[in-house]
Amino acid sequence: MTSAKLWGGRFTGETDPLMDAFNASIHFDKKMYEADIRGSQAYAKALSKKGIINNDECATLVDGLEKVLEEWQNNTFVIKPGDEDIHTANERRLGEFVGSVAGKLHTGRSRNDQVTTDLRIWAREEARKLLGYLKQLIAVAVERAEREIDVLMPGYTHLQRAQPIRWSHWLLSYAWSWQADAKRLEQIIDRLNVLPLGSGALAGNPFNIDRGFLAQELGFNGIIQNSLYGVSDRDYIAELLFWASMAMVHISRISEDLIIYSSGEFGFVTLADAYSTGSSLMPQKKNPDSLELLRGKSGRVFGQLSGFLMTYKGLPSTYNKDLQEDKEPLFDAVETLSGSLQITAGVLSTLTIHPQKMRQNLSIDMLATDLAEYLVRKGVPFRETHHIAGAAVRLAEERNTSMSALSLSDFKHLHTAFDNDIFEIWDFEKSVENRSSLGGTSKQTVIEQIRILRSWLAEHGC
């Protein structure tokens, strides 16, 4: 009796049913149904080009595979016992459509090169979708930054009020992080978009298949030149998981900021009802659950990276079944990122800001650096001015007043370079406008940031 399993020719005993279930991956790798079918259609054409199958057989296989694809797309494909993975399932159903000619499709091909081809195609297409979501998120931040450019807020270090900045400058700090994420993802897409198909099980294809044709058919921009590397390499998955972890860190950090800024203690922003929930006990509560979930899911994605790397690090060369564990971490990370990027864009585009509350939290002590810089402009070395400004802060604290309430004689007692124009520095707008070098928080430099990001978005089709 012939085994129904693709690999079962030398086996006579029955597999433990528990082992069958343990070995199966169809319940998760069915996500790659279209990539598997497109890869098989291209491979059928490559077999035809070499005369291994005739034109009619090729057409039969390609058409039959299209029918299989339609079943997946219409949610009518029936997974049956013995459908160990997506490759087995598609080949079994193809045979039911076209008969014994289906058995010719796998000539010279191994599931080893088939699965990583499928996975690269799937990863490439999903990464492109993620790139689109990232660009949309950047566009949301840029649009808000332009619209709300005149709003000032406290800037923080160590969660302590530090210097006045523009709200737009804060928004764009994350837009630049997301642009860096986008650039990294573009590089990863380029690196993963190389063809492993034609590597066989490990030693290469015995029928001199035209791998250049396969690459062109499947949209790859290069060919993996070593068959051993072709079937074993999963660096692209590690890179995607690291990228996803880094992108989620950026989402987690803005979530943390907005959680703090939306609290009653700050009151800088209010989340839209669409991204908030209430308390089952306390009627007054409006909880930033969307942001807390985003913050929490960053740990989930990082866990997928660390788990996969522990699997990957100890594998001997070429294909090992451990590599079946490469898909679920990637699938989960991509799904998590997809939702997280869209939710972040939704939160950011709908939240309400409270400019007056932000301005109320600007305090004169935040201009202590401006006081030191005032003396620098009078020719006093900065190391001296820093100490002098610190002494002014201390004097104001001792008198339980603001630095702006100190008299000219108070300042002259600290240093003779102080003059009547000292009182002009107690101006938050002026402080912000002084930060006018590239990358600063002045209006003109923020406008320049917006211009650069808008230009980049336009160049990248957004």
Per-residue pLDDT of 203-241, as tens digits, reads 999 999 999 999 999 999 999 999 999 999 999 999 999
- Res. 15: pLDDT tops 70: no
- Res. 193: pLDDT tops 90: yes
Confidence of residue 2 (pLDDT cuts 50, 70, 90): very low
Catalogue the active-site residues: 158, 279
287-333 confidence digits (pLDDT tens): 889 999 999 999 999 999 999 999 999 999 999 999 999 999 999 99
- The average pLDDT across 333-344 equals 97
53-94 confidence digits (pLDDT tens): 999 999 999 999 999 999 999 999 999 998 999 999 999 999
Determine what percent of the chain is predicted with pLDDT higher than 70: 95
Q: Cα–Cα distance between 367 and 163 in angstroms, integer?
A: 7
259-268 confidence digits (pLDDT tens): 999 999 999 9
3-state secondary structure of 16: coil
Q: Cα–Cα distance between 236 and 196 in angstroms, integer?
A: 12
Is 99 or 273 the better-scoring residue by pLDDT? 99
Contact between residue 50 and residue 58 where contact means Cβ atoms under 8 Å apart? no
Average pLDDT across the chain, whole number: 94
What 8-state DSSP symbol labels residue 154? E
Contacts (Cβ under 8 Å, ≥6 apart) of 306: none
Contact between residue 240 and residue 80 where contact means Cβ atoms under 8 Å apart? no
Per-residue CA distances from 424 to 358, 421, 436 (Å): 22, 5, 18
**Confidence at residue 1, expressed as pLDDT on a 0 to 100 scale:** 32
Domains and CATH numbers, the chain: 15-107 (1.10.275.10), 112-205+221-360 (1.20.200.10), 364-426 (1.10.40.30)
